[in-house]
Amino acid sequence: MKQQYGTTRRFAVAVAVTLAVTGGGPAVPAFAMPPAAAPAASDAPRDAISVPPGTVALSGGPTGYLTRHKEGETEVYTWTRYADGVRTRLPGGKYEADPGTDTVVRIDGTTRTFLDMATGEELVSYDLAAHGETGDIVSVAYRGTTLVVERQVDGKWEVHLIDKDDRGQDVERKVTGLPDTWWWRGEQNSDPSTLMLRGFVSPDGTGGQNLAFVDLATASVTATHAVLNAANWITPVAGSRTRAVWQERDATGKTVLAVARRDSPEVARTTWAREARGNPLAFGVTDDWVVYGNSWAFGAWNAEGLRDLTARSLTTDETFPLLAHATSVVQAADGGLIATGGTVEHGEGVYRITPGANGGRPAVSVLATTGVPTALTARSEPQAPSGVVDLDAADGKVPFSWTLDRPGALVTLKVVHTASRATGTLRTWQEPGGPSEFRLDWDGFLSKFPAYAGAYTWTMTAEPRNGIGPAVERTGSFVVAPRAPSRHDFDGNGSPDVFGRSSLGFLYLYDVGQLRQLTHDEPARRTLIGGGWNAYDQIVRRSTGLVARDKDGVLWSYEGKGGGTLTPRKRVGGGWNVYAKLTSGSDLTGDGRDDLVATDRAGVLWLHPARADGTFAARRKVGGGWGVYHQIAATGNIGGAAASDVVARDKDGVLWLYLGKGDGTFAPRSKIGGGWRNLRVIGAGDVDGDGKNDLVSVNWADYSPTYLGIRRGTDQWKTPFEAVLSPSGQFLDVPPLF
């Protein structure tokens, strides 16, 4: 057996670098422990120091605490004193600790060396290879100068304690009284005289976990407890000088807090009000308080469940938050805890949780900060439009971007038209591990409504996905330039409109660009033109306005003047009650103005060429036989030639195309297709912005809901529209559209 003597000696060679207090301090020579600091009252910590990002606390002793962080792929271990904040970097390798003490254990292959960080002395060293084959023995815990190992004997795992005798030779003792369990591991425990173990039952179909308390002096078990319903998950466990506390589940799967006093076999179990299932807990106990929180909360992608590191009284069930979150909690020497986590005020770092006086609330103080904010912050100001924005030149895409300090955010962009208060909202987020730059392209729509020209404000709001801390907000403004003129666009937003007259005679303007995207539970935005429109028995849309016939047969003309308004009406003339049907919206004579065609009650179609003053010239006969059609609609050019066209639907629901020749006459009709019996067709111009006139259809009967479909134009006279309807809208409380 290899013998290693336990006489204490300075471990100057074990210390590679000592770091002065952040913010300036006396340099400390390498390869030497810094001199002991003057005693401070109750070892109260000085102001918080700075530590590298990613620092994690591993243990807390009477005079300092052990942390770990990464530099590249290398793990770096550092001991920091409470009193003066001096940080001592330990030489390369792995280190573990005896919770609640100043003892740090250096792991070098099979060797475990105990170091007293308060004095700079090497206490004792053990070589696992001296106690069996490497694969048959593993270290599971450290208490004082005792090495706790699990070793395989005759195919079973046993827990043994290894100490030094007076001559410095290893003495190994088997722990007696342990339940028959597959394997064991040590747990956080602030009582230096007792070892707390958690055992996992052999995976033979029964499963389960046990807790055992071991008296180090006698190497015997003093108490055991079964963890209920824990066959398939690892429960968090913590121990203090007086209690053991752990989480388990009842038979229904609810989260249960189990508490056992060390001097009693009884276990008190209460159902937690806050569910923690599915998330690992940062867990600890200090005096009469249990401390817990979701250790994944900082990187969580939803704000549900546990977030705060919470303290709960074991006597009154009072709860209150300690930190905004914690990734780990370890025992400290004073019966308190040291947590790695963060607060909105101080950011990420290492925090000390001190027991309250007379069982009162524990207190929190910050030991070290990493400089990483706990709350979501912006790395830069948003890249957003300002000045004048030309949606036509931008092809309807206005870019916004914002770089935050992490990808875990939900970013919302609200764009508001100042005059109408119409609002468009966009949201985006990143996948875990994704970039922290968030991009949003505003498409020029406001709640599916094509945007008006005019002044706008924008607001970008970044909300933390983990629910920790406040949202971050930025605002700005820009102006949308007037859109290029577009046929059938009466409000200047570049999208065709349709009209609707209510039963009370109110005339409204609706945007086809919005209607085609609505679902049945979404309201349609409308612009009120005015009342009194029940005075007319026919209202006919044109590409630039309306014509309406009153009950006395007088025809009136209205011109659009932008912003969703019309000019005062202008009298065209009387005698128009000789016609059964009127339609307009196509330039049939090649002069650039919308002409009017009408069928009389004998089925003869007449053409009234448009004049520049909004009136119409004397009629010209086109031909007879038009009485077979239930509806005639002017569509503009849909056949691909220069002249405009009309479509007509017969009583059997067949839609026919009449190609205009440009001289007020038409080519022989060609069949578009059947199935149009219950539909009203509307020539509304280019709906989808591809430069081709489309055809809008709505259900003929005047009832709710209204179904709106779009047939995309092809500019091919043989097949003027696509066979399949593009995405259609469905909406309620909309009057008959035309």
Long-range contacts of 543-546 (CB under 8 A, 24+ apart): 543/487, 543/488, 543/585, 543/594, 543/636, 543/685, 544/487, 544/594, 545/614, 546/499
Per the CB < 8 A criterion, the answer to whether 96 and 90 are in contact is no
Read off the pLDDT of each residue in 630-638 and give the average, rounded to a whole number. Answer: 95
Torsion over CA: 188, 468, 53, 26 (sign)? negative
Lookup: tokens for 291: 């401390």
pLDDT in tens, 329-359: 998 988 899 999 999 999 999 999 999 998 8
pLDDT of 662 strictly over 70:
yes
Read off the pLDDT of each residue in 518-531 and give the average, rounded to a whole number. Answer: 86
Q: What local confidence, expressed as pLDDT, does residue 524 receive?
A: 85
Q: What local confidence, expressed as pLDDT, does residue 143 receive?
A: 92
pLDDT of 691 strictly over 60:
yes
Task: Tell me, yes or no, if the two domains 56-369 and 388-480 fold the same way.
Answer: no
Which of 3.30.1300.10, 2.60.40.10, 3.30.56.10, 1.10.1510.10 would CATH assign to domain 388-480? 2.60.40.10
pLDDT in tens, 14-41: 343 344 343 333 323 333 455 544 333 3
**pLDDT mean across residues, the chain:** 87
Q: What local confidence, expressed as pLDDT, does residue 726 receive?
A: 61
Beta 398-403 vs 388-389: how paired, if at all? unpaired
Read off the pLDDT of each residue in 113-141 and give the average, rounded to a whole number. Answer: 88
Torsion over CA: 282, 285, 286, 292 (sign)? positive
3-state helix, strand, coil in the chain (%, to 5): 5, 50, 50
Read off the pLDDT of each residue in 464-485 and give the average, rounded to a whole number. Answer: 94
Phi, psi at 686, each rounded to 5°:
-85, 105
Per the CB < 8 A criterion, the answer to whether 144 and 151 are in contact is no
Q: What local confidence, expressed as pLDDT, does residue 536 receive?
A: 98
Read off the pLDDT of each residue in 619-629 and give the average, rounded to a whole number. Answer: 96
Sequence-ordered strand ranges (E) for 356-450: 363-369, 388-389, 398-403, 409-417, 423-429, 437-442, 445-446, 449-450
Which amino acid does the sequence have at 657? L
Instruction: Give the residue, 307 or 574, on which the prediction is more confident.
Output: 574
What's CA 651's distance to the chain center, in Å?
54
Per the CB < 8 A criterion, the answer to whether 646 and 658 are in contact is yes
Per the CB < 8 A criterion, the answer to whether 688 and 486 are in contact is no
Q: Half-sphere exposure of residue 174, counting CA atoms within 13 Å on the CB side?
A: 9
CB atoms within 10 A of CB 272: 16
Q: What local confidence, expressed as pLDDT, does residue 547 receive?
A: 97
Per CATH, the number for 497-731 is: 2.120.10
692: Cβ contacts below 8 Å, ≥ 6 apart: 638, 686, 712, 713, 714, 715
164: Cβ contacts below 8 Å, ≥ 6 apart: 5, 6, 124, 145, 170, 171
Of 233, 262, 220, nearest in space to 245 by CA: 262
Whole-angstrom distance, CA of residue 656 vs CA of residue 169: 106
pLDDT of 136 strictly over 90:
no
Strand partners, 731: 706
CB burial string 85-107: b at 16+ within 10 A, e below: bbbbebbeeebbbbbbbbbbbbe
Lookup: tokens for 207: 């499963």
Burial level of 73, CB count in 10 A (0-12/13-18/19+)? Answer: exposed
pLDDT of 4 strictly over 50:
no
SS3 (DSSP) at 198: strand
Domain ranges of the chain: 56-369, 388-480, 497-731
Per the CB < 8 A criterion, the answer to whether 60 and 100 are in contact is yes
DSSP 513: H
> Residues in the chain, how many?
738
Read off the pLDDT of each residue in 228-233 and give the average, rounded to a whole number. Answer: 75
Of 8-12, 90-94, 128-132, give the lowest mean pLDDT range: 8-12
Q: How far is CA 732 from CA 443, 498, 522, 534, in A?
A: 25, 16, 8, 22
At residue 202 the predicted structure's pLDDT band, cuts being 50, 70 and 90, is low
* DSSP characters over 716-729: -SSS-B-SSPEEEE
Whole-angstrom distance, CA of residue 75 vs CA of residue 95: 10
* DSSP characters over 54-70: T-EEEEE-SSEEEEEEE
What's CA 703's distance to the chain center, in Å?
40
Whole-angstrom distance, CA of residue 642 vs CA of residue 586: 11
SS3 (DSSP) at 341: strand
Percentage of the residues of the chain whose pLDDT score is greater than 90: 60
Per the CB < 8 A criterion, the answer to whether 54 and 326 are in contact is no
At residue 57 the predicted structure's pLDDT band, cuts being 50, 70 and 90, is very high
What's CA 62's distance to the chain center, in Å?
42
Strand partners, 559: 545
Of 662, 636, 638, nearest in space to 542 by CA: 636
Name residue, tokens 């056949």: 639
CATH code 2.130.10.120 for 56-369: yes
Whole-angstrom distance, CA of residue 266 vs CA of residue 482: 79
Lookup: tokens for 718: 């043989």
pLDDT of 201 strictly over 80:
no
pLDDT of 224 strictly over 80:
yes
Instruction: Give the residue, 589 or 563, on which the prediction is more confident.
Output: 589
SS3 (DSSP) at 470: coil
Sequence-ordered strand ranges (E) for 204-318: 209-215, 220-227, 237-239, 243-249, 255-261, 267-271, 281-286, 289-294, 309-313
Number of alpha helices (DSSP H) and beta strands (DSSP E) in the chain: 1, 59
Read off the pLDDT of each residue in 608-618 and give the average, rounded to a whole number. Answer: 93
DSSP 521: T
SS3 (DSSP) at 514: helix
